[in-house]
Amino acid sequence: MLKYLNKIFQIFIDILIFIITLLVFLSLYNMISIKVLHKNQNNIFGITIFEIVSGSMEPTINVKDLIVVSQTDKIKENDIITYRDNNDFITHRVIKIEGDILATKGDSNNSTDTKINKSKIVGKVLLIIPKGGIIREILIKPKVIISIVITLILFSLCSSYIPKNKREKPE
């Protein structure tokens, strides 16, 4: 029974190490795209992640929430979208569509935004991760990443350790 638990634990540790490695590579790709290639946003398979920095969409979306935005042309009234306004990204609700022109408004704002063209739309909000920005800030610190990786490696080594008296002898 203990042998099977060790196997399951080892698989779990391997999956965690894979996920962390994938996240590190995606973070490096994101950093290179933005800092070196001077892109405004990073798009992976039509998906972009933004951190909310203003309270204009409260209580629906709060400051420090992460939003997952998907590129799409299918925008309808009441959808929450992210669009470019000069060098800023704004996430607001669509309140009116007239051909290629949209009127948007933040949920906690009193007035509508200036009308925008559909060409400025980055995408539609698919998912809101409450306080995801705080978690991201904690997890991207090098000390935390190194601590997590070392802990996972140590767990992996501990679970794969076989005492000397239980090892199979070569024939």
pLDDT by residue for the chain (171 residues), tens only, comes to 667 777 787 788 788 778 777 777 777 777 777 777 767 666 777 788 888 889 899 999 999 998 999 988 889 999 999 998 888 889 999 999 998 899 999 989 888 888 899 889 989 999 998 988 887 777 778 888 788 778 877 877 776 666 666 666 665
| Two structure tokens written together for 51 | 């951190």
pLDDT at res. 82: 93
pLDDT at res. 26: 73
DSSP, residue by residue, the chain: -HHHHHHHHHHHHHHHHHHHHHHHHHHHHHHIIIIIS--SS--BTTEEEEE--SSTTTTTS-TT-EEEEE--S---TT-EEEEEETTEEEEEEEEEEETTEEEEE-TT-SSPPPPEEGGGEEEEEEEEETTHHHHHHHHTSHHHHHHHHHHHHHHHHHHH---GGGSPPP-
pLDDT at res. 47: 83
pLDDT at res. 91: 93
What is the pTM (predicted TM-score) of this model? 0.66
pLDDT at res. 12: 81
pLDDT at res. 45: 77
